[in-house]
Structure 1
Amino acid sequence: MKPFPAVAFGALLLGGMAIGFAGILMRLSDVNPIASAFWRMALASPLLWAWALSTADQDSAKGLRTDLDKGVVLSGLFFAGDLAIWHLALHYTTVANATLLSNMTPLFIAVWLFIAYKARFAPTFLAGMAIALTGAVLLIGPSASTSSTQLMGDALGFFTAVFYAGYQLVIKDCRASYSTARLMAWSTTISAIVLLPLALLMPGPFLPADAAGWWPLLGLALIAQIGGQTVIAYAFAHLPASLASVSLLIQPLTAAVAALLIFGERIGRLQVAGGALLLCGIYLSKRGSQ
């Protein structure tokens, strides 16, 4: 039996925690929601390309691809769809609803792996996934709304999970033939290209009002995209997609703690219990994947 890739698992959790700050940074920005998603991609792309070009010789020596193929294009399209739909969902529903529904990704990952590859999951893993999802519901649920006028936003939030599941599965496949640097440089650039016209068409400012307005956008690029998605792409090469998707549920827990520290948003006992269940579920999922 191969040893469990503890370094990759730790990197995955750190990446998920970094992405947990995305909603906080988006709230601090003064551009329209899809523009903040575009600038996240656009500002990260040059740094990722600098990294990718600096390792081009190493990629060639290892026999890794540097060109653009269908899988890489799909990763950029899926992630652009994920960001655009989630930000659009925020116009119709609460942040809590959109966050909760978009974190149903593990369900779609498990169903796809079962249908496409006849994958079988250990009972411990399934129990861990169920506990982690229950924890996510308890963590975010107290802030959620059940207003019928927000049905469209809730549907969009749920649809986001489909796009993010597709993104995770494609990234997992692409990491077998691409380095992290090259894959993320291509994927992030494609997402920026797709998001640009949507950001320009959406009501609200496209550019920050002043120089200080660029700081949250730089934070999105450096923390959420490079420190988050790029680290996660590295981890996906070493971990099962099912375990990775469950472990990324660390995002809403990070967001809740960050909101407490930055905005003073209180965390109730039910949310604390949800956070504890979420962590227990991730641990069990890890045990069930070994």
Structure 2
Amino acid sequence: MTLKLSLLKQQFFETPALLGSVSLFVALIPISLAPSLAKLCEQEISANAVGFHRSWIAAVVFALWNGLEALRRQQPDRQPIEQKPFTKQDVWLLLAMGSAATTSLLLWAWSLSQTSVANVALLSNLNPLFVAAAGYLLLGRRFDNRFVMGMVIALLGAIAFELHNIQFATDQILGDALAFLTAVFIATYLLLIEQLQTRFTTATIMLWRCGVTTMFLLPILPFIEERLFPYSWMGWFFIIFQALFCQVLGQGLLTYSLSRLSSGVVAVTLLLNPVLASIFAWFIFAEQVGLFDWATFAVVLAGIYLAQSSQSIVQVTNEGS
């Protein structure tokens, strides 16, 4: 048993898994802070409008990033790198990834208007189950007992965290179903990014992700929202800050982590998101966080530790960058 644990630690520290884990935990900070920042913008524009502005601003940043990378590769003192052309499969996968991300965003915002925040937080974070099931049934992946145990513990902790606020009622069935579908599309998004990381850089994937969201929302937003732009400089500040901090840094690091870690482990680790979001809301808006909430936070952390220290942590292929 001791030898097995030693080999497991050696695998973790001698592979890109360590860098992927650090990137993922850093990404959780801006991702978890996003709901509080979005709440600050809700006095001027809706969550869908915020998502649109976050996407187009981030798309501009990643377009510049890709342009600088292309210029750097053309410098005479650098060895030329052969650029493979996009195949039809590549384009379809990139479009599917961007569409899954956009759909999850719209379903999440819609579900919030049809059911309670606690129900949305619980049901939309069931994505680790779908990631694991799809990996097992569709991709032929196998997960060790340590990962399965960690996933179950983390899920139970996340469920317990929201349990005292959950309200199931007949007039909330639509919202609950939308939140449940959100989890399906988030799982699809994570699995597609994992596949794309073997072929493209993080900046390219994020450019397509933000670009597809922008192009999808641009024609429909005027019909579903009354106000598209904030009316104060403070509103624009929070939108630009969200775009750079939450979208570029947070989602960029999350995407990068999927080049080093398996989608299953990333999905389980993301269960920290609603817990951290509540802690940030406690600091910013003085929302109540009780002793039971801190206890469930510890349970989620214990489950994530088991998943992160399992043999299922490493990406199946580590060809991406």
- The TM-score, its normalising length taken from structure 2, stands at 0.85
Give the Cα–Cα distance (whole angstroms) in 1 for the partners of residues 33 and 221 of structure 2: 21
Q: What corresponds to 1:7 in structure 2?
A: 19
Give the Cα–Cα distance (whole angstroms) in 2 for the partners of residues 59 and 178 of structure 1: 15
Of 218-227 and 109-118, more deviation after overlay is shown by 218-227
Whether the aligned pair in 2 keeps the contact of 1:124 and 1:285 (CA below 8 Å) is yes
**Unaligned runs of at least 5 residues, structure 2:** 1-6, 75-79, 314-321
Q: 1:155 corresponds to which letter in structure 2?
A: A
Whether the aligned pair in 1 keeps the contact of 2:49 and 2:225 (CA below 8 Å) is no
Counterparts of residues 68-79 of structure 1 (less than 5 Å)? 69-79=91-101
Query: How many residues are paired up?
Result: 290
Cα 1:33–1:270, aligned 2, differ >3 Å: closer, same or farther? same
Q: Helix, strand or coil for the counterpart of 1:121?
A: coil
Give the Cα–Cα distance (whole angstroms) in 2 for the partners of residues 58 and 177 of structure 1: 19
Q: What is the root-mean-square deviation of aligned Cα atoms in Å?
A: 1.8
- From 158, 166, 170, give the equivalent of 1:148: 170
- From 195, 202, 211, give the equivalent of 1:189: 211
Q: What corresponds to 2:185 in structure 1?
A: 163
Counterparts of residues 220-259 of structure 1 (less than 5 Å)? 220-259=242-281
Structure whose alpha-carbon radius of gyration is higher: 2
- From 15, 18, 28, give the equivalent of 2:40: 28
Give the Cα–Cα distance (whole angstroms) in 1 for the partners of residues 292 and 58 of structure 2: 37
Q: What corresponds to 1:55 in structure 2?
A: 69
Q: Helix, strand or coil for the counterpart of 2:227?
A: coil
- The TM-score, its normalising length taken from structure 1, stands at 0.94
Bigger RCO (CA 8 Å, 6+ sep): 1
What's the offset of the Cα at 1:49?
0.9
1:47-74 CA deviation, whole Å, 9 max, x = no partner?
Answer: 1111111112567845455757111111
What's the offset of the Cα at 1:271?
1.2
What's the offset of the Cα at 1:96?
2.0
1:25-53 CA deviation, whole Å, 9 max, x = no partner?
Answer: 22111212211111110111111111111
**Unaligned runs of at least 5 residues, structure 1:** none
What's the offset of the Cα at 1:105?
0.7
Q: What corresponds to 2:77 in structure 1?
A: none
Give the Cα–Cα distance (whole angstroms) in 1 for the partners of residues 292 and 83 of structure 2: 48
Give the Cα–Cα distance (whole angstroms) in 2 for the partners of residues 217 and 142 of structure 1: 32
Q: What corresponds to 1:126 in structure 2?
A: 148
Give the Cα–Cα distance (whole angstroms) in 2 for the partners of residues 180 and 191 of structure 1: 17
Q: Helix, strand or coil for the counterpart of 1:266?
A: coil
Give the Cα–Cα distance (whole angstroms) in 2 for the partners of residues 6 and 112 of structure 1: 25
Q: 1:71 corresponds to which letter in structure 2?
A: L
Whether the aligned pair in 2 keeps the contact of 1:64 and 1:178 (CA below 8 Å) is no
Percent of pairs identical after alignment? Answer: 30
Whether the aligned pair in 2 keeps the contact of 1:35 and 1:206 (CA below 8 Å) is yes
Whether the aligned pair in 2 keeps the contact of 1:17 and 1:250 (CA below 8 Å) is no
Give the Cα–Cα distance (whole angstroms) in 2 for the partners of residues 244 and 65 of structure 1: 28
